[in-house]
Structures are given as C-alpha cells and as structure tokens.
Structure 1
Amino acid sequence: MQTRTLGRTGPAVSALGLGAMGMSGAYGAADRTESIATVHAALEAGVTLIDTGDFYAMGHNELLLAEALHGRDRDSYALSVKFGMLRGPGHEFGGTDARPEAVKNFLAYSLTRLGTDHIDIYRPARLDPAVPIEETVGAIAEMIDAGHVRHVGLSEVDAATIRRAHAVHPIADLQIEYSLLSRAVEADILPTLRELGIGLTAYGVLSRGLISGHWSTDRAAPGDIRGSSPRFSSGNVEHNLALVEALRRVAEEKGCTVAQLAIAWVAAQGSDVGDIVPLVGARTRGRLAEALPAVELDLTADDLAEIEKAVPAGAARGDRYPPAFMSTLGAGN
C-alpha cells in the first residue's frame, strides 16, 4: 500500500482510507460480523486511515470500530473522527454544536467509545454558524496540548473558513465530498488547500455507490439514506446512470472496473506530493477487495481525457444532499 502525508503537518497514512459510516446502517442494514471482518481485511491490506463520526448511528460506529480494532497496535492505524452533529431519538438531525466546551465533551465520549487515549485527526463535521471557527479550532488545539488529539481537521467548509482556521492552528486536512459527480472543490477550495499545505481526504468518491457500477434504479432499501438523495430520485438517477455506462466503456478499455476507475480518478487529481486521499465506504470484504487496486491504477493523460468526455464536470443531475443539508456545505455540488 502506498502512503501519503496529509498536508505539511499531518500524519502519514495509506493512499486509500476506509470510511466506516455504512457499517452502521446509513445505507440499510449492515452485517456486524462482515463489517468487522472488512476492517480487519483493510488493516491487513495496509489501509491505515479509518474515518468515523460520533453521530454515526449515535455512537454505534465508534463502538463497532473499538471492537474491530481491539488488540491492534495503536500506532498501526490513524483514526479520523468528526463531531458536533446533533441528533434526536428518532435519528433526526438537529444542527451543529462546535462550542469549545462541546468539543471537549464530544471528545471525551469518543475516546471512551473507541477505547483509545487519543484521536489522530479530530474535526467538526460541519461549521457551527453560531461559533467562530477560531474558537472551535482553539479548543481542539488545547486537546492536542493535553495529548488527547494529534491533528486538527476540517470538514465541508469554504476557502475563507479554511484560512481562518489555519491561522489559529495548522490544519492537517479537509474532508469533503469529491468525485466525478461532485467537483465544486476544484474552483476555490483545492487551490487554497495547496497554497496552505493542507491535505484533502475525499469522501463520496463513488457518490454513495451511484457510480460504483453496481447500482440499479430500484435498490434503495428501507433505512437507506439514498432514498432521500436528489441524485437517486426518479428522473435524476436514470440520467446519472447513463453517465456511469459511458464511464463503464472507458473502464472496460482500461481493463478495470467502474469503481476502480472512479476512485483512481480522484487520486489522480492530487498533486505530485499526493495531497488527496480517497476514502472508500466499503462495508464488505468484496467491495474492499475491488477498491484496493484503484490506487495502483495509472491513468494517462489520454485516460483522463476519455473520463472527462464520459462524465464532464457538472454533468450530474440533482444535488448531492437534500435541500435542508445543502446550506450546511462549504462547497456546492
């Protein structure tokens, strides 16, 4: 497994990370035993970056990872944790709390659930409009000084917020959605990250499975958040799957799968120092095994041109989140 260093000050991690959200019911029922086996398979394949959020099924995901990581050398993997999203007993979202006292409270619970003494990268999941980012980052910096956190990360914020946060404490990476269907980061955010020496961990590289090559129009199971996603809605999904078929033709010529090509495209957008690390949300060993070769896939200039023709920037139909969530994002689609 290749490695990347997240920005100028962040940790060295595997060139591909594992996003664990889907293991806690976000995309319908998940098998606990298979989820744990997938985490083990990822570690054995050299994946060292594991991403979670304390609000993924209200702590379930952290407890699952604690079980999967039990007994492992703590220095053999890096935990990236998002915090601050508020939820109710019906699993509804209720805004964001990134006050300094909330930072320390959320962190204490995460450390306990994960069974660890430190988080490698700690980040607010969304910008709290009521709290200056300087205060939130300052609180995380205090936790770094106390030894409970190693690095500060950000998630889904705009270029101006990145600059303000970085002025308080060096930021290791920004986590944001980036895929062939979601390219808003390319305008202002990615140049800002490169100017400041901040890495990017890209989630949604397969657009929640839409461009995995495995999705069909009638597969949103009960409890699957894709059932409310505009890109998966009737009318939009047919258009978007036509883009996938165009991408499939490029993949077949390249001798790889659609998913591998889509992941490799994201990795290929990194600079010479490899400043982009794709996160794959594999929740089975089979999907993980398909994703792993993507970071070894060499895309030529001709390959990239063919991919661009198949899925041009802005070609997707539908927003990447329902309307209520779009206003919380630092970039658009």
Structure 2
Amino acid sequence: MVSVGVIGSGAWGTTLALLLARKGIATTIWDHRAERALEMQQSRENKVFLPHIYFPDNLRVTSDITEAVTDKDLLVLVTPSQKLRENVRLIAPYLDPKTILVSASKGIEIESLQRMSEVIAAELPAWKDRIAALSGPNLSSEVAEGKPTAAVVASSIPEIAVQARTVITCDTLRVYTSSDVIGVELGGALKNIIAIGAGFNDGLGYGENAKAAIITRGLAEISRLGVAAGANALTFAGLAGIGDLIATCATPLSRNQQLGRRLARGEKLDAILQSTHSVAEGVSTTRAALKLAERYQVEMPIAHQLSLILFEGLDPHKAVPELMMRDPKGELEGFV
C-alpha cells in the first residue's frame, strides 16, 4: 500500500491528486486555508480550478500539515515557485526519512536563482538523495478530464526516479525517467516565458508563422541557458523541453499564454495578476532567467524584450521589430 501527500491545491496539484486517487492510492491534498480545505472536502471538488470534476472517495483534503505529511511514501510539492521554500520549511518537522519528495512546481526562485529541487535540498539536506522533479506537456484541465499525456520525472539517483515513476504512472499519464534534473527543471520553468510571447503573438494577430518562429527561437534560448547551466542538450528535445513548450504556447488554456494575450489587448500586468486565482509563473521566471543569463553570459533576446514589456511598459508592437532587426546570425550560434 502506498500513501501520498500533495502540498498545494491549485489546478496541477489537484490534478495530480486526482490521478493518484483514481489509481487506488490513498491521497491527501493540503491547503493552508482551513475554510478552503473544508469546502473541498465537503463538496468533493475544487470549484475554483477544476469545477465539476469530482474527487474519488480515497482523496482527502486537509489544512492540517501533520496529516498531509506524516507517514507518506511520496510527497508531491506543487506550490507557487516563490512560495516553495516557506512550504518546505513548514513540512520539515513532520517528514519521514523514507519519504520521496517530488517537485511538480515549475519556476526559479528569484532571490537565490535556485531551481525547485535545489530549494528543497537546501532546506532538507538529509533528503537530497530522495528528491525528484516532474515536468512535461501537462495542461491541468485536460489531464484532470482523463485525456492522455506524458511526463518525465528526473532525479540524480536513478532508483528514486523509477520509484516516483512507478507511483505516478497511470493509464492516462505515461511517465518517463531522466537523470538530467537541471534540464528537466529549466525546460519546465523557462517555457513559461516563451508562452507569454506566444500569447502576445496571438493577441496581436501576427499569425502561425510568427508563433512557430517564437517557439523555435524560444527553444534555442532555453537550450543555450540550460546547456550553460550544465544540462544535457538532448533533454530540450524531449517532453520537458519542446513537448512542454508546444503545449504551453499553442493554447489559451495556458495561464502564461493567456497573460500574453491580455497584455497585447492593452491590459496592465498588475490588473491581470489580481484578476486571476492562478499564478502565471512566467512573470517571475523572466526576472530570474535574465539574472541566470547574465551569470552564464548567454543571450536571451526574446526574454529580454518580454521583460521590457512586462516591467518597463514597452509597447508590444515595438518589441517585434527589435527582434527582427537584430544582427544576423547563424541558426546554431551559441551551440557549435
């Protein structure tokens, strides 16, 4: 028998909990707000993020962190990236030494520039060899509805990746393993920046050719930074790279793509962020990515232009000419 705790009751956390519970695993979702936890436990659905998708009987919701963490074989951490550290500190006193920790959050901590698994390891050094990262082209609403998808779980310890894969894999989510934690995490985080750009493209009506160019050159930026940080270049040709990038850029189901569309319509960033329950990770990741790019001396022109739009009020119509008229380069410059 396996017992799993899910720390975070957003769309993706709830979706993963649903998949695990449907598989017959005793699963507990934790929400820090007692009233929200009680409402979900009683209504048997997450009305905010996944309305009308009802919980199996073996899925429990609690605001008691002890109940969510104690005696769990696997703990899935699915909190906003900038809140992960404080939540890891919260769970620390109740963790069992045998528990495997799986990060399903996609982001980079702005202050430390650490990936999510690095944040967990920094706070929980005794668990550094029991940490894995889950990523892939996984739009929550589709996965929760039972539509098929795939993901990759990465760990520096192969046995941990295999154990996590065994627990998470189900008939609608096929999970692969990887040893490239850096590549899997950076692919999952950085794609959110490019998705904002794809949303701009759709909002401005620039068409499919332009969006294909944004996705392709966005992948080049992600890969350059990832390789400089120590990732395997081939990881970005996989599920956590081009797979997640396509899914996130192609549809308004993506929070980041939708944010880009709304900015293109003239809405202000603060107003957009205040109007939604979901976190668009691409906003904070843009700041962190450019700091990492500076550290590794890597060019990220799309991310740079997006930062000017997001944080300095650049007119989106002016960003595209800036990108188009950059000095000509070889397509593989920065790789070979």
Report if TM-score (shorter chain) is over 0.5. Answer: no
TM-score by length of 1: 0.33
Higher relative contact order at CA 8 Å, sep ≥6: structure 1 or structure 2?
A: 1
